[in-house]
């Protein structure tokens, strides 16, 4: 099984590359949102999966990235893809600032605090904070992204932009996972006291994981803003955070392959069964409860080292 | 002054509701060291069950207002308590020995499941309590005109809190609950059936939470299937504020949070009302994580 995984992944990647040739616009659009959620879940995985920090306010960082892009683009006419590093920076710095005082909290307390942060950010967006966010209506009229002189407009074009970014993310995060940094995070997750005892600066690594994960979510926010050309607070509700949390747990915390699979299942399956769309969350809730009894490590858990 | 007193009493009414929900969180946390994320949704079930029973059985027509509401409270408390016990069996007992993350995820799953069951049964829209059966009278207390409903809610929540406090402090079963909260292993050695204590906690907490849901329905006149998580988060904040695991703490925290919120909405900004509770939550966890009256969590954070 283990030996076939690289082949399976290669086949999967090849399928993704040629997929737009065979699919209609609607199907490509579904794949685009799967790609965005995969990106967000991978960024959350850094915090929740690798470092074991329960973050259920990830939508806040996503929102800050999206709004940063939207504001920079509509007010200062900066091309939307140029805002990518800036929105990453904004989300990362915000995460650093809010996580600093609370990062030492254990498990479920951190979870509650991050829910609180997510809600405060959403309420701030609705209340048109600093007169920048446009209140409940949000910001519209974000210009189309341009790449090498080509205006990206069609879902097919976004498809390659989004999945290209996903591929880059997987490449970078795999390298990160195998690095000294990644090992430190895993150690932290498994046994914080032992990690600290062997000289790992736990607060530093926790904050680094938080900021990096948030920065990545912020960049996903840029892609979201570019794709939708409109951002509004309702796209960043508590349920987005729950959905992302679910994708990571379902796929297997720390497992990149598992998270990709879970993104396809959680976002893709409801599209296949549209007539049961209302029962989507019901099924997810049930799956979460059953999974924790039957297979708490997720569908495709990360292999131990 | 008039305005201030109105806001204060309104805050006390809402705070009483928070306190009743917070008791459920704090009791479960005391015994199991688990945040029961689905507790807020049991509260919503109380509100919806109350609505259904109120309209379908016409209790207030048959028995008069006071007796009718009393019977309604008992029915809602009983039904939600049974639901709480089922929840414990289905979602938490299989995970008693699992890592904390598993129990937390299962609790979240249960919360999502319960919430969406309600949505599928009743629909996503706000449900309105019939307004013709509720007393709209106002009381004149030393020149202050207060809605009767508000006074009743404050009184009822205080009575329930005192009853619970006496039960926990004075009765043998209450002693068993306190013993299990301090040290499950030792309690077991003393001949206390810890599983029954946990079951009892999951009957008592949801019963109070369900009644709180009914109160919200009667007080505001409308309920929504997602309201459980907002009230749940606020009640949890109240529990943390008072010191989680501490029963008088939950009561004080609830009332205090209700008053802070009401005054904040009146004098600071109504648009930021919901954010205020979350700010209180974050601040208290940073500054004094054991809460105002708490002493036990120090090792947990």
Three state DSSP letters for chain A: CHHHHHHHHHHHHHHHHHHHHHCCHHHHHHHHHHHHHHHHHHHHHHHHHHCCCCCCCHHHHHHHHHHHHHHHHHHHCCCHHHHHHHHHHHHHHHHHHHHHHHCCCCHHHHHHHHHHHHHHHHHHHHCCHHHCCCHHHCEECCCCCEECCEECCCHHHHHHHHHHHHHHHHHHHHHHHCCHHHHHHHHHHHCHHHHHHCCCCHHHHHHHHHHHHHHHHHHHHHHHHHHHCEECHHHHCHHHHHHHHHHHHHHCCCCHHHHHHHHHHHHHHHHHCHHHHHHHHHHHHHHHHHHHHHCCCCCCCCCCC
d(CA A201, CA A188): 10
Contacting residues of A for B286, CB less than 8 Å apart: 101-102
What pLDDT is recorded for position B300?
Answer: 43
- Asked if A219 and A86 count as a contact pair (C-beta separation under 8 A), the reply is no
Residues A34-43, buried b or exposed e (16+ Cβ, 10 A)?
Answer: bbbbbbbbbb
Tokens of A7: 């082949």
Does a structural domain hold residue A303? no
What pLDDT is recorded for position B207?
Answer: 95
Does a structural domain hold residue A103? yes
Contacting residues of A for B240, CB less than 8 Å apart: 112
Does a structural domain hold residue A288? no
- Asked if B45 and B110 count as a contact pair (C-beta separation under 8 A), the reply is no
pLDDT at B297 over 60: no
Three-class SS of chain B: CHHHHHHHHHHHHHHHHHHHHHHHHHHHHHHHCCCCCCHHHHHHHHHHHHHHHHHHHCHHHHHCHHHHHHHHHHHHHHHHHHHHHHHHHHHHHHHCCCCHHHHHHHHHHHHHHHHHHHHHHHCCCCEECCCCCCCCCEEEECCEEEEHHHHHHHHHHHHHHHHHHHHHHHCHHHHHHHHHHHCHHHHHHCCCCHHHHHHHHHHHHHHHHHHHHHHHHHHHCEECCCHHHHHHHHHHHHHHHHCCCCHHHHHHHHHHHHHHHHHHHHHCCCCCHHHHHHHHHHHHHHHCCCCCCCCCHHHCC
Q: How many angstroms away from the CA of B265 is the closest CA of chain A?
A: 14
What pLDDT is recorded for position A68?
Answer: 92
Contacting residues of A for B301, CB less than 8 Å apart: 104-106, 109
pLDDT at B137 over 80: no
Does a structural domain hold residue A296? no
Question: What average pLDDT score do residues B131-148 get?
Answer: 73
Give the A:B interface size as CB pairs under 8 Å: 117
Tokens of B124: 């996503």
- Please name each of the domains of chain B with its CATH number: 2-130+148-299 (1.10.3470)
DSSP A151: E
d(CA B206, CA B77): 7
What total number of domains does chain A contain?
Answer: 1
Confidence of residue B76 (pLDDT cuts 50, 70, 90): very high
Residues of chain A falling short of pLDDT 70: 1-3, 303-305
pLDDT at B80 over 70: yes
What is the phi/psi pair of residue A178, to 5°? -90, 0
Confidence of residue B301 (pLDDT cuts 50, 70, 90): very low
Q: How many angstroms away from the CA of A235 is the closest CA of chain B?
A: 17
Range of the domain at A121: 26-237
CB atoms B108 and A242 under 8 Å:
yes
Does a structural domain hold residue A271? no
What is the phi/psi pair of residue B147, to 5°? -60, 140
What pLDDT is recorded for position A112?
Answer: 86
What pLDDT is recorded for position B298?
Answer: 40
Tokens of B50: 């109350």
CB atoms A279 and B289 under 8 Å:
no
- Asked if B98 and A296 count as a contact pair (C-beta separation under 8 A), the reply is yes
Contacting residues of B for A291, CB less than 8 Å apart: 105, 109
- Asked if A50 and A182 count as a contact pair (C-beta separation under 8 A), the reply is yes
d(CA A192, CA A200): 9
CB atoms B286 and A101 under 8 Å:
yes
Write the CB contacts of A109 (distance below 8 Å, at least 6 apart in sequence).
Answer: B285, B289, B300, B301
CB atoms B109 and A120 under 8 Å:
no
Does a structural domain hold residue A205? yes
Tokens of A184: 């430190």
In the three-class reduction of DSSP (H, G, I as helix; E, B as strand; rest coil), residue A231 is classed as strand
Rounded to a whole number of angstroms, the CA Rg of chain A reads 19
What pLDDT is recorded for position A3?
Answer: 67
Predicted TM-score (pTM) of this structure? 0.88
- Asked if B119 and A278 count as a contact pair (C-beta separation under 8 A), the reply is yes
The answer, for B236 touching chain A at a CB cutoff of 8 Å, is yes
Contacting residues of B for A123, CB less than 8 Å apart: 271-272, 274-275
Confidence of residue B54 (pLDDT cuts 50, 70, 90): confident
CB atoms B101 and A54 under 8 Å:
yes
The answer, for B98 touching chain A at a CB cutoff of 8 Å, is yes
pLDDT at B299 over 50: no
The answer, for B235 touching chain A at a CB cutoff of 8 Å, is no
CB atoms A291 and B98 under 8 Å:
no
CB atoms A116 and B233 under 8 Å:
yes
- Asked if B106 and A288 count as a contact pair (C-beta separation under 8 A), the reply is yes
Confidence of residue B296 (pLDDT cuts 50, 70, 90): low
DSSP A259: H
Within 13 Å of residue B227, how many CA atoms lie on the same side as its CB? Answer: 23
Does a structural domain hold residue A48? yes
d(CA B105, CA B108): 5
Q: How many CB atoms lie within 10 A of CB A178?
A: 11
CB atoms B282 and A293 under 8 Å:
no
Instruction: Give the residue from B146, B129, B156, B134 showing the smallest Cα distance to B65.
Output: B134
Sign of CA dihedral B42, B45, B47, B50: negative
Say which residue the tokens 């946990």 belong to.
Answer: B198
In the three-class reduction of DSSP (H, G, I as helix; E, B as strand; rest coil), residue A237 is classed as coil
d(CA B301, CA B10): 34
Does a structural domain hold residue A43? yes
């Amino acid at each position: 099984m283990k030996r076939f995984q690289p082949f399976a992944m290669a086949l999967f990647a090849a399928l993704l590359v040629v997929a737009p040739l065979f699919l209609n616009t609607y199907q490509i659009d579904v794949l685009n949102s799967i790609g965005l959620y995969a990106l967000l879940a991978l960024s959350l995985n850094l915090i929740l999966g690798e470092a074991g920090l329960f973050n259920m306010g990830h939508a806040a960082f996503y929102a800050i990235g999206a709004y940063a892009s939207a504001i920079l683009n509509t007010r200062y006419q900066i091309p939307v893809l140029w805002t990518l590093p800036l929105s990453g920076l904004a989300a990362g710095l915000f995460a650093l600032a809010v996580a600093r005082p609370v990062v030492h909290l254990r498990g479920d307390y951190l979870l509650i605090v991050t829910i609180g942060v997510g809600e405060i950010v959403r309420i701030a967006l609705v209340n048109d904070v600093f007169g920048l966010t446009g209140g409940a209506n949000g910001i519209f009229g974000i210009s189309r992204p341009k790449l090498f002189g080509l205006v990206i407009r069609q879902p097919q074009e976004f498809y390659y932009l989004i999945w290209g970014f996903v591929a880059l993310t997987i490449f970078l995060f795999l390298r990160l996972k195998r690095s000294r940094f990644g090992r430190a995070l895993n150690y932290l997750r498994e046994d914080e006291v032992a990690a600290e005892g062997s000289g790992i600066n736990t607060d530093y690594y926790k904050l680094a994981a938080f900021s990096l994960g948030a920065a990545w979510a912020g960049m996903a926010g840029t892609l979201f803003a570019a794709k939708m050309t409109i951002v509004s607070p309702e796209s960043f509700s508590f349920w987005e955070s729950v959905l992302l949390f679910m994708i990571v747990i379902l796929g297997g915390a720390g497992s990149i392959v598992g998270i990709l699979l879970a993104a396809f299942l959680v976002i893709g399956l409801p599209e296949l069964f549209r007539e049961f769309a209302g029962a989507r969350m019901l099924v997810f809730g049930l799956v979460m409860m059953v999974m924790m009894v039957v297979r708490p490590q997720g569908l495709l858990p990360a292999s131990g080292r | 002054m008039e305005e201030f007193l109105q806001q204060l009493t309104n805050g006390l009414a809402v705070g009483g509701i928070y306190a009743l929900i917070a008791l459920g969180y704090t009791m479960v946390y005391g015994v199991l060291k688990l945040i029961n994320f689905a507790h807020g949704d049991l509260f919503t079930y109380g509100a919806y069950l109350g609505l259904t029973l109120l309209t379908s059985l016409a209790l207030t027509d048959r028995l008069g207002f006071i007796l009718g509401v009393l019977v309604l409270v008992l029915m809602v408390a009983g039904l939600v308590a049974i639901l709480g016990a089922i929840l414990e069996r289905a979602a938490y007992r299989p995970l008693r020995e699992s890592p904390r993350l598993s129990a937390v995820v299962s609790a979240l799953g249960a919360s999502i499941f319960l919430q969406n069951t309600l949505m599928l049964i009743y629909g996503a829209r706000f449900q309105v309590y019939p307004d013709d059966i509720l007393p709209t009278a106002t009381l004149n207390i030393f020149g202050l005109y207060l809605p009767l409903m508000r006074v009743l809610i404050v009184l009822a929540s205080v009575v329930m809190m005192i009853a619970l406090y006496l039960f926990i402090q004075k009765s043998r079963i209450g002693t068993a609950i306190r013993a299990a909260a301090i040290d499950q292993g030792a309690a077991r050695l003393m001949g206390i059936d810890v599983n029954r204590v946990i079951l009892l906690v999951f009957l008592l907490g949801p019963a109070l939470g369900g009644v709180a849901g009914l109160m919200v329905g009667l007080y505001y006149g409308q309920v929504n299937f997602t309201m459980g998580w907002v009230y749940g988060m606020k009640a949890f904040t109240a529990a943390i504020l008072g010191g989680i695991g501490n029963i008088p703490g939950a009561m004080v925290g609830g009332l205090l949070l209700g008053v802070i919120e009401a005054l904040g909405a009146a004098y600071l900004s109504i648009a930021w009302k919901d954010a205020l509770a979350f700010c209180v939550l974050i601040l208290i966890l940073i500054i004094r994580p054991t809460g105002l009256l708490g002493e036990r969590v120090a090792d947990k954070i």
